A = this chain, B = another copy of it.
Amino acid sequence: MRIAYVVPGPMSKGPMGLAEMRRRETLLNSWAFPGTEVTVVDVPDGPASIESAYEEALCVPATINLIMKCERDGFDAAIIGCFGDPGLEAARELTTMPVVGPCESSLLLAAGLGHKFSILTIFDSMVAGQEFLAYKAGVRDKLASVRATGIPVLDLMKRPEQTKARLVETAALCVKQDRADAFLFGCMTMSFLDLAEEISAAVGAPAVNAGKAALKHAETLVSMGLSHSKTAFPMPMKMQAGQPFEALRVA
């Protein structure tokens, strides 16, 4: 099967650049089941990184366009490459192939690992937003806590040892103080550090890589012949009534 991993910002033009995109593609393919091929693509313009509601909103229109193109190009599924799952519902309205988001995917996976789990996020200002996402995913009752490391997305890869230490320390608080049985990386750059096993061993509780979780979720859906329900995510009514996609926008 062919899966598109759609980065909802212009990563190839930003500080991380094409090299990081290719590195993530290689990692994704190394994580995949035999027979899965993952391609990483990014949008032409949008936010450098997504750390606020505004930056999240900014990326959606271009991301939807790219996901629709992926479906036309024959991909079997798409992953939205940002932990906030920006545009997930809109994308599902406009596709029939499965579209998954790393937040929803990793929340549902973490829910099966124990009684409670926590999310490691970037800033305190993102805590409430991720609590809402847990509610939307239906697993709010299992969320022990969301704790921020305070390291901006674009700095996570700069000082890896410091990042790792902070992740271990924050995850340990989730387990000891919040009674989390597992935790997940609430940021794709965090996840693509590929440190889940190491940090899990240090903390003594399972750690979920949100990128891997989204990949497995997509592979599972394709393999089972399942996709999101069109009763939940119907095509916009104007398109059901015969108007083309382009007509939704007036300018």
Binding site for B on A (CB under 8 A): 9-10, 13-14, 31, 33-35, 44-48, 51-58, 60-61, 64, 87, 89-90, 93-94, 100, 104-105, 108-109, 111-116, 123, 125, 127-129, 131-132, 135-142, 152, 175, 179, 181-182, 197, 204-206, 208-209, 212-213, 216-217, 219-220, 223-234, 236-238, 247-251
Contacts and interface: CB of A to CB of B under 8 A. Distances in A.
Contact of A93 (B52, B90, B131, B204): B52
Contact of A111 (B114, B137, B227): B137
Contacts of A52: 90, 93, 234, 236-237
B113 A226 contact: yes
A224 B232 contact: no
Contacts of A179: 127
Given A33-B219, A179-B127, A228-B114, A61 B57 contact: yes
A32 B94 CA distance: 29
Copies in the complex: 6
B231 A181 contact: yes
B115 A128 contact: yes
A54 B58 contact: no
Contact of A236 (B13, B51, B139): B51
Contact of A229 (B9, B90, B205, B212): B205
B181 A232 contact: yes
Residue among A52, A55, A94, A175 having the largest count of chain B Cβ atoms under 10 Å: A52
Given A52-B90, A57-B64, A224-B209, A47 B249 contact: yes
